[in-house]
Amino acid sequence: MNINFDNETILNVEKIHGPLFAEISSLNYDSRRIEKNAAFFCMEGEQQDGHLFIEDAIKKGASAIIGSNEAKLARLAAAYPDRTFVVVKDTREAMARLSILFYQQAYKKLTTIGVTGTNGKTTVVAYIYSLLNQIGKPTGSIGTIGTMTSEGPFPFQPTTPTTPEAPDLHYLFHQFLQRKEQAAAMEVSSIAIEQKRVEGISFHIGVHTNISSEHLDFHKTFENYKKAKLKLFKQTEKAVVNLDDKGMAEDILDLHHGPLLTYSINGHPDADVFASNIRTNRKGSAFLLSIEGRASLVHTPIIGHYNISNLLAAVCTALHTGVIGEKILEKLPKIKGPKGRFQLVETPGNSTVLLDYAHTPEALRKLLTEVKKLNYRKLILMVTGVGIRDKNKMAKMGEAADGQADAYIISVDHPGYRKPEEIVASVLSGFSETNRTNITVTHSRKEGVIAALNLAEKEDLIILTGGCINGCQIIRGKALPHSDETIIEHFYSTQVNQAKSSLKPEAK
C-alpha cells in the first residue's frame, strides 16, 4: 500500500521528514520482526524505548518510521534521506489508526463484540463463539486462550496476554474476513483500552461482566481502573450489562444511550434476561431462563452460578445480533466453554482434577463456593501468585483461600521478572488460619501441579487455579510452552507404566 502521510489526517501527524509517500507492506512495533517496506512504530514501554531500535529497523528494510521523539527522528532523517520519518503526538494512537487504514477497515465488515470485566471475559467470549457458530453465524474469537476461527484454532502467536496490539488485532479481523467469518468476539482488557489497542474501533456490541480490584500496578487506583473499563461503552453501538454487578452496572447505564440488554441471576427486577432455580451437579446445570417474557427450563453442561451469569451475557449478545429467543434456547444444551474454566478431569487414580483460571480473589471465592456443592473426600487447592500482575493482589489470593481446603500447594504463575520465592512469600502472607504443615510450597507451576497430584488419594478433589495465558508461562520476557493437561496425563501414564512393570515376573 502506498501511503501519503501528509494526507492522512486521522494519524494526527505533527511533522514529516523525508518523502511524503512511502510504500508500506506491513506494520510492526518490534524491530526484530521487521520486513522490507515495513512501517516501524517506536513504542515507549516500561522495559524499552522503540526509538532506540530505529536503525535496526531501517537496516532490515523499514520504509517508514513513526514516533514521538522529533529530535531523534530529525537526526536519523538526515542520515537516511530515502526513508519517511513521521512525528506524531501519540505513537500508539497513530499505530491503531494506521492499522485500520492498512487493513481497509476490515472490522467494519464484521459484527464486532467487545467483552470487558475483571472476571469472566474469556468464558463469555467462548460462550458467544459457541452460541453464534451453532446458530449459523460464523464467528471468530480473540482472547486469553488464543485465536479461533469458526473452523477451530488459528495459528497466531500474540505478544500480549489478552487483547492483541492494534496491528495484530486488525490483521486478525482481516483474516476473519478472508475466511468468511461474520462476527468477531474478543476480550478487551482495561490495559488494552488505555494503551489504545482498540482505538478507532466502533464495536457493534459491548459486554460487561463485573468489576473488582485488579491491575492496580498499572492503573494505580480503582477509580482509574473503572474509568478505563467504562471507555469501551463510549465506542459501542449496543450494550449488555450485568445488573448484579454493583461496581459498574449503574455507571454503564448512565453512560450508554444506545440499545441495551441487561441480565441477572440474583432476581434483579429490571433484568431483560434472568436465570432462577439454578441446580448444579458434576454434569452441568438446570435452571429457569426468562427471555423475551417467557420462562423455559434449560439444561446446560455448565457448572457454577457465575458461569450461568456468563452464559446470560452470551444470550443477550445473541439477542442483540437479531437471533430470536427460541433459537437460542435450542442451542444452550450444547454450549461449549473454554478449557481451564471449571474444567473437570477424571484421573486413573479415581481422584478428580478441576482446572480453573481463577486468578483474582473474587474469582477464587466464587469458585470455592461452587466447589463446596460437589462431593469429594479431601480438597487439595493450588493457589498461585501471578508475577506479571499486581503484587498487592498476591496476599489477597492467600486470604481468599485461607481455611477453605484440606491441603494447599502455593506456587507461581508467570513470574515475569520477579523472583518466584518472593511471589510465594507474598501469597503465604495472606494465610492466618491454616496450619503451615498443610501447605506445600513450589517455585514453578509445573512443580505445583505435580505436588498436588502426589497428595491426592481416592475420591479427592484437586483444584488447580490460575493457569496459562495462550498455552505458556511468561518468564523473564519469554513465553515458554506449558500445559497442565499434558503434565497430568504424563503423571498418571508414568504411574500406570510403573504399576505394570512391578507386576511383571522377574527373569530367571
As annotated, the binding site includes 31, 117-123, 162-163, 189, 195, 197
**Overall residue count recorded for the chain in this entry:** 508
For residues 229 and 193, the answer to whether their CB atoms sit within 8 Å is yes
Contact between 192 and 203 under an 8 Å Cβ cutoff? The reply is: no
What region does 226 belong to: left with phi over 0, alpha with psi -120 to 50, or beta? alpha
Give the whole-angstrom CA distance, residue 258 versus residue 405: 46
Which whole-number Å values give the CA distances from 411 to 362, 383, 436, in the listed order? 19, 6, 14
Distance of CA 415 to the CA centre of its chain: 18
CA 291 to chain centre: 28
**Residues 66, 28 contacting (CB under 8 angstroms):** no
Q: Are 376 and 461 in contact (CB under 8 A)?
A: yes
> What is the residue whose three cell numbers read 467462548?
126
Binding residues for ATP: 117-123
Beta bridge partners of 141: 148, 185
Please report, for the chain, how many H helices and E strands are present, in that order.
16, 26
Rounded to 10 degrees, the C-alpha dihedral 115/116/119/120 comes to -10
